[in-house]
Amino acid sequence: MSEPYALAISGLLKRRQELQDEAATMRERMASVQTDVEAIDRVLDSLGYQGKLENRTARSERIVLFYRNKLRSFILKELRGSERPLSTRELAEAHLWRRRPLSARQAAPERCCEAHEQGPADDAGWQAGRGRGL
């Protein structure tokens, strides 16, 4: 830092960090408030309110992919039965394989980057940041 402006630079950097922290806190609070407003809208809908609400979020049908606790029980069963940690991709493939067995050609993974060619033994390297070339 240049000597004559060291105090000013230090003060500005400190204030900048304070403002960034305040902005992050405000974003979190805004998200919380928006969630509360959406919950109130859902309750009003369930009570039969037909009036107009400003800034009302559009509701869409919820797509149920798993019944209650089925996904959790599947993942826990797979992880407990495995001898090593599994990636989310491996868990998804295991789930799809059980639902609909694939032909040998479909089951062969596409080799799209160096990390896939090294195989699961290189999981530590993937987590360390290598192999993100997808």
Question: What's the pLDDT tens digit per position in 73-105?
Answer: 888 988 898 889 888 888 888 877 776 655 544
Give the DSSP letter of residue 62: P
Q: In the structure, what pLDDT confidence band is assigned to residue 20 with cuts at 50, 70 and 90? A: very high
Q: Is residue 24 part of a domain?
A: yes
Q: Is residue 56 part of a domain?
A: no
Both 65 and 104 in one domain: the answer is yes
Looking up tokens 């806190």 gives 25
Please tell me the predicted confidence (pLDDT) of residue 14: 96
Contact 113, 133 (CB under 8 A): yes
For residue 104, the enclosing domain spans 61-108
Over the range 105-132, which residues count as b (16 or more CB within 10 Å of their CB) and which as e? eeeeeeeeeebbeeeeebbeeeeeeebe
Q: In the structure, what pLDDT confidence band is assigned to residue 131 with cuts at 50, 70 and 90? A: very low
Question: What's the pLDDT tens digit per position in 25-58?
Answer: 999 999 999 888 888 888 888 898 888 888 877 7
Q: Is residue 113 part of a domain?
A: no
- Is 90 exceeded by the pLDDT of residue 24? yes
**How many Å apart are CA 117 and CA 56, to the nearest integer?**
49
Per the structure, the count of domains in the chain is 2
Is this model's pTM higher than 0.85 or not?
A: no
**How many Å apart are CA 53 and CA 47, to the nearest integer?**
14
Both 67 and 100 in one domain: the answer is yes
Q: Is residue 33 part of a domain?
A: yes
- Number of residues in the chain: 134
- For residue 105, give the amino acid letter: R
Q: Is residue 85 part of a domain?
A: yes
Q: Is residue 23 part of a domain?
A: yes
Looking up tokens 């067995």 gives 101
**How many Å apart are CA 80 and CA 85, to the nearest integer?**
9
**How many Å apart are CA 92 and CA 90, to the nearest integer?**
5
Both 40 and 14 in one domain: the answer is yes
Percent of the chain with pLDDT over 90: 21
Both 42 and 81 in one domain: the answer is no
Q: Is residue 130 part of a domain?
A: no
- Is 70 exceeded by the pLDDT of residue 126? no
Please tell me the predicted confidence (pLDDT) of residue 30: 93
